[in-house]
Structure 1
C-alpha cells in the first residue's frame, strides 16, 4: 500500500477503505509518513469530504493510536458531556452535580483552556486546595463513592489527533467537518464513557458561527458516536451572547454554585437542565424527558445538587468554605464599570469580544505558558433585549489594573445599542439524536 495512491483516490472523490485509513493514521503517528503527504490528504478530505463510514473509521483509528481509559470498574452507566466551547460556559459545574444527584456516575476528564478564559480545570483551581491530578484508582473510587469526579486527562489519548491537528492548523484544513468531528470524538471515545451528550455551540462566540454549520457538525459527531457503539445526543445551543452573567474563573464557579442553590439565571439554568436530562435518559434512569427534567429541577430546589458539588470539592481536597461562603473565592483588586453611551436596547453582544476582554484582564491564556488569574473576570449587567440608559453600566470588569483600557475598549466594541427592542435569541435550537 502506498500513501501516494491513497491521496489520489481521495483527491478524485473515492471512498477510503478501513485498511487505507489505518495505514495513514498509524504511519503518520509513527513518523513514517511525511507531513507533505499527510497535508495533501487532509486537503483532499477538505475538498472531497468523507462518508459516515470513513469518518467513523478515521475516528476509531485515532482512538486506537494511543491509550484508552478503562472505566469498567465504575458501577453504573457512565455518561460524559462535552461542549464545543463558548463564553461564560460553566455548565459542567452545574450538570455534573445535577446528574450525580440522581445517582448517575459522572467520570469527567477535562483539560485546561487556551483562549479567553481558563478551561474546566483552571476554573476548579479557583478553589483552594482542590486537586485535579489523581491516580486512576482514586478517580474510580471517587466516582463509585460519590458519583462524581473531575480530573485532568491522563495518559496518551489519541496522539494521532494531536499530531494531525497541529498539521491542519498550519495548512488551512482545520475547517473540515469530518476532521473536526473526528478530532473531538476521538478524545471523548478514548475517555471511556458509555454514552455522550454534546453541547454544540452556535453564534458569534462559538467555533461554528452559523446554525447550518453547527447542525452539520452535531450530526457528524452523533453519527460517529452511534456508529462506534456509544449512544450520542447533541444539543445545539446559542452562543450569540455569553452564557449567564459571569465570564472568568472564580466568578464562573460562583455563578454555577448560585444556580445549584436555586438562583434563577434562566439561560444557564435551562441549558444545564436540558443537558442533564439527556444524560440521565441515556443512563436509563428515567423513562421520559419530562420525568428527568422535573426530578433534576427538584434537586436544584431541594439542595441535593448543591450538596453533590460540595462533596466533589471535599473529596478532591478543596476548601469547601469557599463554596459555602462565595465571597471567599479569589477576587480582583478593582471593579471597573463600563457604561453605555446612549439610551436604547441591547441589540447585539459579540460574545467573542467579551471573551477577548476577559483574556486581556488575565482570565485566559494567549499562549500555553501564560498563568491564569483566577480573581479577574467580567460581570454582565445587560443582555440582548434589555433596556439601557446612557451612563448605565453594561458590565463590571473585575481587574487587577485600575484602568484596563484594552478590555474597556473591547467591551464597548462588543455591545450594539439600538432604538427598538428586539427579542433575545432562542437558547436551544435543536436536539439531534
Structure 2
C-alpha cells in the first residue's frame, strides 16, 4: 500500500464516481498529471451507474481483471469516501487477496502536501468533525407524477418551494456550526421546476465553495433550459444524476448532446421500469429497520428542519391527504437554528420514530403514472 503517487502510472480511482472525478480534477489543477483510466465502485450495490461524463465506471472485479492483465498499474482508493476505517481496511485487504498489490490509499494528511495546498480546506480534518451530506428538497413540484413515488410527491396538496433566501439561511447556519458537507443533493419533485434554480446553485456554491453539488432529475426538462442555466451547470461543475423513465424513451441522445455541448457532468441510470414500496403503517422493529435501511445516512433538510432521511417530509404529504391514517413523524425533525452541532449530530445518529414505518423488505411494482383514484387510496402507497 502506497501514498505517494507516480504520475506516469495508469490509475483506476475507487470510490463514488462523482467524488472520484472531483478529486481527479482537483489533482490535475494542482499540477499532478495522473492518468485516470476509469472510475470504480462496488456495482453490486450501485449497478445503475455505468458512465460519468464519458468515462467508464468499472466494477471492482473489472478493475481487478485489468490490473492482473497489466491494463492498469495501480488503484487509487479515495479513503475519505468511506464511512469508517474498518470498511476501508477490509476493502484494502480484499483487493490484496485478489492479487492487487499496488494500492494508493492516501490519508487526509496526504492531501496537505504542497501540490494540494489550494484544496487543503477540502480535506481539513478539523472541519470534518461534523461531516455529512445533505439533501435539499428544492420543490415538491414534479412533471412525472410517479405512482409509488417514495417521496409521496403526488399526494402533496400544496406547492412547496425551498426559497433561495431560506437555503442561504440554512446553509449559512450549518457553515457557522463548522459542518463539513461532502455533497449538497438537490432533488424534489423535479429540481428544474424550481422558479430560481440558478439562484439555488449560486447560493450553495457561495456558502460551500468546495462541496459537490448534485441534481437528481428525470431529464425531461433539460433541453428547455436557458443557455445561461446550462452554462452555469457546466461552470460550477454541477453533477446531474438522471433517472430514465418510460416517457424519456427515444430522447436520451438529444439530452446527452445538450449536456456535452455545455460541458455538464452527468451520469444516467438505466430506464426505471420498476418502483418499490417499503413503508408501512404497521409499526416495525426500529433496530431491524435501521439495520436494513439504505438511507440512514441520507440527511434531509427543508426550511430549517433536518431529519435522518426524506421520509418524515414525505409522510407529511401522506398525513395531509389521508387524515384518518397517519404516520407519527413530528419527533423526527430538528430545528438547526435552535440546536448546536453536537445536538444535531447526536440527533442524526439516533434512530427516530419514523424509522418504525420502514420495512426491512420491499415490494416491487411496475412503474406507472399516478391517477386521481390513486390519490384517494391510501393502501396503494403502503405495504
TM-score by length of 1: 0.29
The structure with the largest strand share of the pair is 2
Structure with higher RCO (Cα < 8 A, 6+ apart)? 1
TM-score by length of 2: 0.32
